[in-house]
Amino acid sequence: MTFARITGTGSYLPERVLSNADLEKMVDTSDEWITTRTGIRERRIAANGETTGDLAFHAATRALEAAGVKASELDAIVLGTTTPDLIFPSTACLLQSRLGANGCMAFDVNAACCGFMYALGIADKFIRAGQTKKALVVGSETLSRMTDWTDRNTCVLFGDGAGAVVLEADKEPGVLTTLLHADGGYADLLYNPVGVSKGFKEDGRHGNTIMMEGNKVFRVAVRALERLVDETIAAANMHADNVDWLIPHQANLRIIRATAERLQLPMDRVVITVDKHGNTSSGSVPLALDELIRTGKVQRGQNLLLEAFGGGFTWSSAMIRY
């Protein structure tokens, strides 16, 4: 039987740091208000002209280097993003050309904050089916491009960043299971109101910015992730105490704590980057995964539970044996 194993990880953050103190000068907010409600202290912002594809390129290069894989060896590039460089071609195709991986399969996945998790699930299935031996999976975002910097309820949340992993076919189990869910019935709670078919012009209320009913999103997210944790453990034929590390979507520290409590997992086994990165959407899980691996804390054979929740609504998970 063929499995997909993670053989390399990489990440990249823009240089500019936007702290809560900086935001205090921009909108009616405070460091205490932000940290109490979200756990966020700072976030990174892409420079003028710096694109989602740029961030993805740096993260991908680092992941390929860590895996010892040449770009020309790749069979697939799957990139999760809600902020592509262009409408088309896909950012994955643009990335493919920059890496020198021309000829392999390359496409984007838009599942909001679950973009990387969806991309991981898709790449895993291609490897299990025997159609792919080496795949690059990326989550990259420049959410600052569609953040309303006058809205104190949303502008404090988001940041830019990218993470990537290399998956390779192996006889030893790696990605044990992936679960992907969505419910479009909640679309009006977290969305961006413009698009190609609906048009890019303002509708009289708002333009190209993130719209969110935060309290309602929070309640649904906590419930969905509690169910997802149980479902993932069952799908992997495990018990909660078999989980060594939780690598959650970095959206809100309160949501992360609730998920950890569901697992009865101590917080020193939960990867937290939301304080430094903010919510980087599809970039957040691979960023956190790369940080864990590069610290050297994770050991081979340990079980990692990855999960995310995003607009759509989408929610997704993976159980990985490192």
Q: Which amino acid is at 245?
A: W
**pLDDT digits 0-9 by tens, 51-60:** 999 999 999 9
Inform me whether the pLDDT recorded for 176 exceeds 90: yes
Return the structure tokens found at 316: 């997704």
Nearest Cα residue to 163 out of 26, 14, 289, 45: 289
* Whether residues 158 and 12 fall in one domain: yes
Give strand ranges (E) for 23-142. Answer: 42-45, 76-80, 105-109, 134-142
How far apart, in whole angstroms, are the C-alpha atoms of residue 96 and residue 317?
Answer: 26
Q: Are residues 293 and 213 in the same domain?
A: yes
Given the residues 113, 114, 155, 252, select the one marked as catalytic: 113
84 with 66, same domain: the answer is yes
Q: Does 207 score more than 80 pLDDT?
A: no
**E-strand spans in the chain?**
3-12, 16-19, 42-45, 76-80, 105-109, 134-142, 160-170, 175-182, 190-191, 211-212, 245-248, 303-310, 314-321
First to last CA, the chain: 18
58 among known catalytic residues: no
**Domain range for 196:** 176-321
Q: What confidence tier does 199 reach under pLDDT thresholds 50, 70, 90?
A: confident
Q: Which of 172, 197, 228 is the last residue of a domain?
A: 172
pLDDT tens figures, 109-119: 999 999 999 99
Kindly state whether residues 24 and 127 are assigned to the same domain.
yes
Among the listed residues 69, 71, 85, 76, the one whose alpha carbon sits nearest the alpha carbon of residue 137: 76
Residues 299, 221 within the same domain:
yes
Kindly state whether residues 41 and 121 are assigned to the same domain: yes
- 259: domain CATH number is 3.40.47.10
Answer for the pair 310, 113: CB distance below 8 angstroms, yes or no: yes
Q: Among 172, 190, 225, identify where a domain stops.
A: 172
Same domain, 19 and 131: yes
Q: Which amino acid is at 224?
A: A
Do residues 168 and 197 both lie within one domain? no
Residue 201: pLDDT over 90: no
The one-letter code for the residue type at 142 is T
Which amino acid makes up residue 29? T
H-helix or E-strand containing 289? helix 284-295
pLDDT over threshold 80, residue 203: no
pLDDT-based confidence at 47, cuts 50/70/90?
Answer: very high
Say whether pLDDT at 204 is over 90.
Answer: no
Write out the two tokens for 186.
């909640």
Asked if residue 189 and residue 135 are part of one domain, the reply reads: no
Specify whether 157 is located in the same domain as 183: no
Mark whether 155 is an active-site residue: no
Of 104, 114, 155, 249, the catalytic one is 249
Q: How many CB atoms lie within 10 A of CB 131?
A: 12
Residue 249 annotated as catalytic: yes
Residue ending a domain, among 172, 204, 223, is 172
Note the pLDDT of residue 164.
98
Vertex 148: Cα angle to 182 and 279 (nearest 5): 50
